[in-house]
């Protein structure tokens, strides 16, 4: 059984893309699935994977987005659920079991809850089922430095401790803001070469795709600057070219 990391890297190689599309469609509920389908159809040749957030998961749930899941599966695009999972282990397990049974490939989770009775059993179970867990290390919004850069006893910053957890816990990937080159470089140093770094915050939040990749990101996550573009296919293709690795 291929791991999540192997699947997303294989998709990336096949398409020559390091772009994860955040399928964040807003507006009237009745139009969201159709709009998301259209954006996917327009961009599927330029992206490596798809991330789904509450924009779709809350109004429609896993069964209501079945056609979108099937479209991604048919195209060989790995699917990430952006739940920022943050609960006790038994509840987290319920979430991961449902997601993987519905053909999602990975979930984004918060390392703050700790390993025992928190994230440990989720990572173990996800791996047993062939799924992945991506840990939030440094978020991309402007307030991120109110929390993620706090100094802990001993002088380490919170995000460095989270990166260290990602390495120690065997997480498949991390989320690190594209807006902080220092955090990207530092996370890469801590997690090593085998843990993927996904960088959101490109475009709408001001981060630059090329700089994020040069600072250690493996993938960029992009939502609004593709979804809200007049030509989503052109924007996705532009980002694909800008972040292409040999
Ligand atoms: P935009 O429109 O800003 O959307 O390109 C980015 C997408 O990614 C999510 N996002 C994050 N997810 N950690 C995450 O796990 C982050 O630091 C982060 N920043 C943005 C956002 O919710 C949207 O789906």
- Residue 142: band (very low, low, confident or very high) from pLDDT cuts 50, 70, 90: confident
Average pLDDT of the residues in 178-195: 96
- Residue 204: band (very low, low, confident or very high) from pLDDT cuts 50, 70, 90: confident
What is residue 122's predicted lDDT score, i.e. its pLDDT? 96
Query: 17-30, pLDDT tens digit by residue?
Result: 999 999 999 999 99
Residue 153 CB partners (closer than 8 Å, separation 6+): none
Question: What is the percent of the chain with per-residue pLDDT over 70, rounded to a whole number?
Answer: 99
Query: Is the per-residue pLDDT at 211 higher than 70?
Result: yes
Average pLDDT of the residues in 137-150: 92
- Closest protein CA for atom 9 of ligand 1: 200
Please state the atom number of ligand 1 nearest to the C-alpha of residue 141: 19
What is residue 140's predicted lDDT score, i.e. its pLDDT? 84
What is residue 185's predicted lDDT score, i.e. its pLDDT? 98
Kind of pairing between the strands at 49-52 and 79-85? parallel
What is residue 205's predicted lDDT score, i.e. its pLDDT? 80
Strand partners, 108: 134
Read out DSSP for 78-146?
A: -EEEEEEE-S-HHHHHHHHHHHHHTT--EEEE-GGG-IIIIIHHHHHHHHHTT-EEEEEEE--SGGGGG
- Ordered by start, the domain boundaries in the chain are 4-243
Average pLDDT of the residues in 99-108: 98
Return mean pLDDT, the chain: 96
CATH number for 4-243: choose from 2.160.10.10, 3.20.20.70, 3.40.50.720, 2.60.40.2300.
Answer: 3.20.20.70
- Closest protein CA for atom 17 of ligand 1: 139
Q: How far is CA 119 from the centre of its chain?
A: 17
- Closest protein CA for atom 20 of ligand 1: 200
User: Ligand 1 centre from 90 Cα, in Å?
Assistant: 26
- Tally of residues, the chain: 246
C-alpha distances out from residue 181 to 146, 185, 196, Å: 17, 6, 16
What is residue 225's predicted lDDT score, i.e. its pLDDT? 95
Q: Is 207 in the pocket of ligand 1 (CB under 6 A)?
A: no
pTM recorded for the entire structure: 0.96
What is residue 246's predicted lDDT score, i.e. its pLDDT? 62
User: Ligand 1 centre from 218 Cα, in Å?
Assistant: 16
- Residue 43: band (very low, low, confident or very high) from pLDDT cuts 50, 70, 90: very high
Query: 150-186, pLDDT tens digit by residue?
Result: 999 999 999 999 999 999 999 999 999 999 999 999 9
User: Ligand 1 centre from 50 Cα, in Å?
Assistant: 12
Query: 121-130, pLDDT tens digit by residue?
Result: 999 999 999 9
CA 215/CA 225 separation, integer angstroms: 21
């Amino acid at each position: 059984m291929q791991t999540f990391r192997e699947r997303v890297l294989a998709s990336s190689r096949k398409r020559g893309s390091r772009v994860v599309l955040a399928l964040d469609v807003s507006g009237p509920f009745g139009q969201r699935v159709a709009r998301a389908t259209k954006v996917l159809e327009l961009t599927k040749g330029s992206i490596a994977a798809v991330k789904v957030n509450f924009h779709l998961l809350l109004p429609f749930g896993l069964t209501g987005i079945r056609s979108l899941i099937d479209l991604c599966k048919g195209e060989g695009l790995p699917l990430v659920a952006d739940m920022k999972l943050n609960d006790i282990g038994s509840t987290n397990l319920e979430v991961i079991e449902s997601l993987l049974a519905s053909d999602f490939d990975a979930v984004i989770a918060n390392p703050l809850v700790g390993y025992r009775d928190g994230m440990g059993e989720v990572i173990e179970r996800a791996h047993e089922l062939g799924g992945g867990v991506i840990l939030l290390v440094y978020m991309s919004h402007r307030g991120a430095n109110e929390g993620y850069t706090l100094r802990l006893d001993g002088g380490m910053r919170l995000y460095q401790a989270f990166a260290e957890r990602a390495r120690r816990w065997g997480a498949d990937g991390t989320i690190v803001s594209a807006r902080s080159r220092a955090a990207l470089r530092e996370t890469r140093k801590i997690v090593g070469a085998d843990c993927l770094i996904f960088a959101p915050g490109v475009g709408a939040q001001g981060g630059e795709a090329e700089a994020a990749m040069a600072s250690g990101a493996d993938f960029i996550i992009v939502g609004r600057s593709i979804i809200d573009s007049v030509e989503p296919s052109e924007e996705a293709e532009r980002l694909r070219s800008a972040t292409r690795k040999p």
